[in-house]
Amino acid sequence: MDGRMELLRQIQILEFVMYDAALYLDTHPCDEAALNYFHHYRKIKEKAVAEFAACYGPLTMDTVESKNKWTWIEKPWPWEMGA
Amino acid sequence: MDLDRKTMAMGNGGIDMWTYEKKLQYPVKIKNPDPSIAKVVITQVGGPDGELAASMRYLSQRYSMPYKECIGVLNDIGTEELAHLEMISAIVHQLTRNMTIEQIKESGFDTYFVDHTAGIYPQAAAGVPFTAKFFQSKGDAITDLVEDMAADAAPLERQLFKYFSF
């Protein structure tokens, strides 16, 4: 569970970075440095999300790997922490 | 399908719009129930300056925005507000999880509990249910942006969170 939380935290940090950059890029679409920044973290995030799906289950439907069981509904749902 | 996935702006996208990501934007982990805080925080879910109103406001105002840059901002912030809605809902859920009858009565949460038990219902702290009357969409960019500033720059929001210091 700890490894899961740690990797999830990494993904949350990476997505925060990407989303902040994306909001800036919305109004500065030709800023090359910001674009490079976005794509740099995008690559790292994609790797982290794939690793998470492989080890702990899917975060998005398109990363559901299992062929014999629908793992999307496996707990925990995001709001179920700390019980 | 492969092509679609490669062209998704955020990477690991999804198979439809909108796409759910099975995680909170920021983790919420509250161990002990505290309905006295929950009855105030619920307003950030469904109150006049809450996350639901914020999301509906931006997503509704996109269509009459003349500039693509600003459409992007309304689109992406309106989407992010849904993630905020989920975080605040998780806070209220965890604050009202495993409450005792005594806690419900002493905290004054009984007035919420009688209608919704520990379910998440979008309402203001004083019990006013969420309504579209909380926001505007006027078809005029400047008018809408001024309305956005009044609603989402709400110092109230920051005061609230400072006060309860999550």
- Confidence (pTM): 0.88
pLDDT digits (tens, 9 = 90+) for B45-55: 999 999 999 99
d(CA B26, CA B86): 10
The pair of three-digit structure tokens given for residue B85, joined into one six-digit string: 């809605």
- Residues in chain A within 8 Å Cβ distance of B24: 12, 78-79
* B137-140 contacts at long range (C-beta below 8 A, 24 or more positions apart): B137/B57, B137/B60, B137/B61, B137/B64, B138/B64, B139/B64, B140/B64
Instruction: Determine contact, residues B76/A23, Cβ cutoff 8 Å.
Output: yes
Q: How far is B70 from chain A (nearest CA, A)?
A: 7
**Which runs of consecutive H residues, i.e. helices, occur in chain B?**
2-7, 35-41, 43-46, 51-61, 68-95, 101-107, 110-116, 141-152, 155-164
Q: Is residue B8 part of a domain?
A: no
Share of chain B above pLDDT 90, in %: 77
Out of A8, A18, A19, the one facing B23 most closely (by C-beta) is A8
Subunit contact A61:B80, Cβ cutoff 8 A: no
Q: How many CB atoms lie within 10 A of CB B61?
A: 25
pLDDT at B134 over 70: yes
- Residues in chain B within 8 Å Cβ distance of A78: 22-24, 86, 90
Q: Is residue B83 part of a domain?
A: yes
d(CA A25, CA B72): 9
Share of chain B above pLDDT 70, in %: 82
d(CA A61, CA A8): 16
Q: How many residues belong to chain A?
A: 83
pLDDT at res. B163: 60
pLDDT digits (tens, 9 = 90+) for B5-27: 444 444 455 566 889 999 999 99
A26 touches chain B (CB under 8 A): yes
- Residues in chain B within 8 Å Cβ distance of A72: 22
Assign residue B137 the CATH number of its domain: 1.20.1260.10
Q: How far is A55 from chain B (nearest CA, A)?
A: 15
The number of folded domains in chain B is 1
Q: How far is B34 from chain A (nearest CA, A)?
A: 14
Work out how many CB contacts closer than 8 A connect A with B: 89
B76 touches chain A (CB under 8 A): yes
Q: Is residue B72 part of a domain?
A: yes
Among the residue ranges A28-37, B81-90, B155-164, the one predicted with the least confidence is: B155-164
